[in-house]
Chains A and B, each alone.
Chain A
Amino acid sequence: MGEFSIGRKIASFGGMVAGLILLITGLGMAIGKTGNPFRGTAMIVGAVLFFIGLYLFPTLKHHRMIVNILFLFPLLFAFAVTVIIPLVLGIGYSFTNWDGIRVRGFVGLDNYTRMFKQPGFIWSILITFLFVVFNIILVNLVAFLLALLCTSKLKGLGFFRAAYFLPNLIGGIVLGYIWQFIFSNVITKFTTALFDQRYSMLSETKTAFVGIVIVYIWQYAGYIMLIYITGLNTIPGDVLEASSIDGASATQTLFSIKIPMIAPTITICTFLTLTSAFKQFDVNLALTNGTGSVADFMGNYLTNGTEMLALNIYTTAVINNEYALGEAKAVLFFIILAVVSIVQVRISNKREVEL
């Protein structure tokens, strides 16, 4: 350590110690609600001093690492504040009877057992899974067909691509209201005239569910289509040319060349639709707000026929004023999504190795 001057060492340690003291004093003044106007200054000056001290730390071996940490710090700090800390706090709140204002006591696993006693919540889980299955199949099918259309030699391709992608740029809430108008004001005009069916499809649970699926496909298929188009464009032209010389028909080319060649794209799109369908919230909220009745589910009359998991969590916490129960449901939701994501990463990694 002989190559560092005394001055450097003093600057480093002094800076770090003074910085820490200032930081802790500032923080203490803020937590203690002293109202001291210098608390902010103290904290910031403290933090800066600490980092300067750290940068000047008398080491050659670890200097690079220290610099790395300094550069990473803003990101890690932001990540901790916006993701890690809320997650830990949320899990903690789920074991209490927090009402959004105060924690009045710990209730252990009560919230977790309670949510499974709610038939409405079980129903939400079930229809969320159903929604996911419908969407994976339909969105990918529609998107792939659109992609085939948009890679053919039609006129005005640019227009079609833009037109199909456009719904994805509109927010889900706005989409929901637009389609609500279409379903209950426009379509009913036709159904009244043709089938004497006066009420909109949103007023019946089954058809309302179909309605959400339709709107979701309309919103999401354009986005998935773009990924398929990219996939289809990566198929080497010589392969297609060779197949046409060999006399392959259009269907043969499609099933024996195009689809196998874009297998990785299909995997990506499947999982994209999977996770996004799970998290469906805004269209659900705006289109039906979870309404719809189920006459008999586990011996109960349900009134939340189209309420999916994310919306159920929101309603529980914000509308029904049961924040802790909502947190417990959100923890379960997090676990489900985490499992799905891990499986997704595993499978796609495997596929990539195989290819």
Chain B
Amino acid sequence: MKKKLLSFLLTGAMLASLTACGGTAAAPAPASSEDAAAEAADSSDAGEAADAAETTDEGGEASEAAGSGAEVRLLNGKPEIDAQMQELAKLYNEETGNTLIVETIGGDTNAADELKKMYQADNMPDIFVIEANQADTWDGMLADLAGEAWTDKTGFELVNAKMGTIGFPYTVEATALGYNADVLKAAGVDPASLTSPAAYAEAFKTLDDKKAELGITAVLGWCAEPANLGWSSGTHVFGQYLDAGLKADDTKYIDLLNDGGKVDEARMKSFAEFIGMMNQYSDPDLLVDGTYDEQVAGFKDGKYAFITQGNWCVTSPDDVSFECGFAPYAFEDGIDTIIAGPPSYWVAYSDGNVDGAKEFFNWCAGDSAQDILVNKAGLVSPFDDCKYEAVNPFYKSMKSYIDAGKYSGWHTMLKKDGLQNVTCQVFADYAQGKLDADGFAKTMAQVIQGYYAN
């Protein structure tokens, strides 16, 4: 008799768990999960009942989220500004009555990969973040934003040949050789003169000779460690080969690269020699085995005169006690541009709430939103009419380049996916001294071609 009772109980528990599982799958049907909860409670199994009750909650939330039509979901790829994005969402709701839900992904999780999962799960956000070369992956799924009011206020929107104006620039970032203006001044080096390899050679030498006097550890904080910092050397520094000295819309070298991995030999050679000089004057402890944190901390502490990062590495004026600026990677005579532009964009999913997304973009380009993004999140506004000066210590220098039209594009984001993992290793080998300048240029050409061929 006891056995029979036990078996009944077991069957009941099993059935309840089955229906409870079913409840999760059919989240938008709250009625079913309530049934499940009731059944689970009947089965006198406390654990099951608790599980089923949780399911009910989930079901309730999901159906609520699907209910209202005026909501816009945004997938943010910058975890460091998540708090400010939530504030932005709150303000958006207060000012317009519309709802913005911000979900943040980033850090070690790849937003592009997460988006694929969201797509497979039919759970796409209305607005999400992409890098320029990911546009083709979403071919035909992004809304054309041409003619929106905000497009008149910026030159940084992402335009795709097939889909039209698809990307909303939410920030402008710049990368070049960041410098500590106080140290350069003390050493008598004028950053404006740094527009040729010869000028750099002289400046590096001067700084190196006066290291003790200036209180710096090394001239450069340049790190070619490939495992964790491959994005820095393989994407950003490599991007200087592609863009330095070119106009923002000039795609000469990226077109050459994407045509089967071709490399301009002479340009690569000059680039190699410049990188060789950087290797020579960099902090040897940082060069091969360093980390991003060590690199940035060293610059903030005034240990390096130059750093090979962008304006993201020092975001607050409280971080540094000196003036910061950018100098171009002048590996050929006359190169006087920095790379500036949006490294990634917000796009609207065409099957999502496009009208809501457009409305949000227009609001976001306006005054109150820019106030939060610029003054609180520390971003640099891509909009011409933005009246806020960014707090970023590099901003003044960035603005002077942009105003003078001396900026190049972020075309490095258009290279084949994953190329940076190949090129960063060549930078690392060069830094360790396994390759010389010729070897670097040749190996670079060879691995790039190999990567495009396979």
Contacts and interface: CB of A to CB of B under 8 A. Distances in A.
Interface of A: 26, 30, 35, 37-41, 43-45, 47-48, 51, 70-71, 74, 99-101, 114, 117-120, 180, 184-185, 188, 198-200, 202-204, 287-293, 295, 300-301, 303-305, 315, 318-323
Contact of B25 (A40, A118, A305): A40
B429 A38 contact: no
B14 A118 contact: no
Contacts of B312: none
Interface of B: 11, 14-15, 17-19, 22-23, 25-29, 31-32, 35-36, 63, 110, 112-113, 116, 119-120, 137-138, 225-228, 230, 284-285, 288-289, 417-418, 421-426, 428-429, 432, 434, 443, 446-447, 450, 454
Most chain-B CB neighbours within 10 Å: which of A47, A202, A301? A301
A268 B138 CA distance: 49
A101 B116 contact: yes
B351 to A, nearest CB: 11
B35 A101 contact: no
A44 B425 CA distance: 54
B22 A188 contact: no
Nearest to A325: B454
Contacts of B422: 303
B226 A291 contact: yes
B289 A202 contact: yes
A295 B435 CA distance: 10
10 contacts: A41-B29, A44-B22, A199-B289, A203-B225, A291-B424, A291-B425, A292-B425, A301-B446, A303-B426, A323-B116
A291 B447 CA distance: 14
Contacts of B288: 198-200, 203
A44 B23 contact: yes
B418 A41 contact: no
Given A40-B32, A47-B18, A48-B19, A291 B230 contact: yes
Contacts of A100: 113, 116, 137
B211 to A, nearest CB: 18
A39 B226 contact: no
Nearest to B33: A40
B428 A319 contact: no
A301 B22 contact: no
A198 B284 contact: yes
Contacts of A295: 434
Contacts of B454: 114, 117-118, 120
Nearest to A181: B291
A74 B285 contact: no
A43 B417 contact: no
Contacts of B434: 293, 295
A336 to B, nearest CB: 21
A228 B69 CA distance: 63
Contact of B15 (A48, A120, A180): A48
Nearest to A198: B284
Contact of B289 (A41, A203, A315): A203
A122 B214 CA distance: 51
Nearest to B442: A301
B293 to A, nearest CB: 11
A318 B110 contact: yes
A231 B443 CA distance: 53
B51 to A, nearest CB: 14
A188 B289 CA distance: 9
B26 A43 contact: yes
- Minimum-distance CB pairs A-B, first 4: A40-B26, A40-B29, A320-B418, A303-B425
Contacts of B418: 315, 319-321
A13 to B, nearest CB: 20
Given A117-B454, A202-B227, A44 B112 contact: no
A74 B17 contact: yes
Contacts of A37: 28-29, 31, 63
Contacts of B443: 301
B417 A319 contact: yes
Contacts of B138: 101
Given A74-B18, A188-B285, 19 more contacts: A30-B26, A37-B31, A40-B26, A41-B35, A47-B18, A47-B22, A99-B137, A101-B116, A101-B120, A200-B288, A289-B226, A291-B227, A291-B425, A293-B429, A300-B450, A304-B421, A319-B110, A321-B418, A323-B116
Given A37-B28, A199-B288, A319-B421, A293 B23 contact: no
A320 B26 contact: no
B83 to A, nearest CB: 26
A200 B225 CA distance: 11
A43 B22 contact: yes
Given A291-B227, A303-B421, A200 B289 contact: yes
A289 B113 contact: no
Given A198-B285, A199-B289, A41 B26 contact: yes
Contacts of B284: 198
A47 B32 CA distance: 12
Contacts of B113: 100, 318
A114 B454 CA distance: 7
Given A41-B31, A101-B119, A288-B227, A321 B112 contact: yes
Given A44-B22, A118-B454, A301 B447 contact: yes
Task: Count chain B CB atoms within 10 A of each CB in A44, A101, A118 and give the residue with the most.
Answer: A44
B452 to A, nearest CB: 12
Given A199-B289, A289-B228, A292-B425, A44 B19 contact: yes
A288 B423 CA distance: 15
Of A71, A101, A300, A304, chain B has the most CB atoms within 10 Å of the CB of: A101
Nearest to A46: B22
Contacts of B289: 184-185, 188, 199-200, 202-203
Nearest to B18: A74
Nearest to A184: B289
B298 to A, nearest CB: 14
Contact of B32 (A44, A120, A202, A315): A44
Q: Which of A287, A319, A322 has the most CB of B within 10 A?
A: A319
A39 B225 CA distance: 54
Contacts of A26: 26
Nearest to A51: B15
Contacts of B424: 291, 303
A203 B421 CA distance: 15
A289 B116 contact: no
A90 to B, nearest CB: 13
Contacts of A303: 421-426, 447
Contacts of A320: 417-418, 421
A261 to B, nearest CB: 43
A44 B22 CA distance: 6
A117 B450 CA distance: 10
Nearest to B426: A303
A123 B138 CA distance: 33
Most B CB within 10 A of own CB, among A39, A293, A295: A293
Nearest to B224: A203
A321 B137 contact: yes
A37 B228 CA distance: 47
Contact of A315 (B63, B421, B425): B421
Given A199-B432, A203-B428, A318-B113, A40 B23 contact: yes
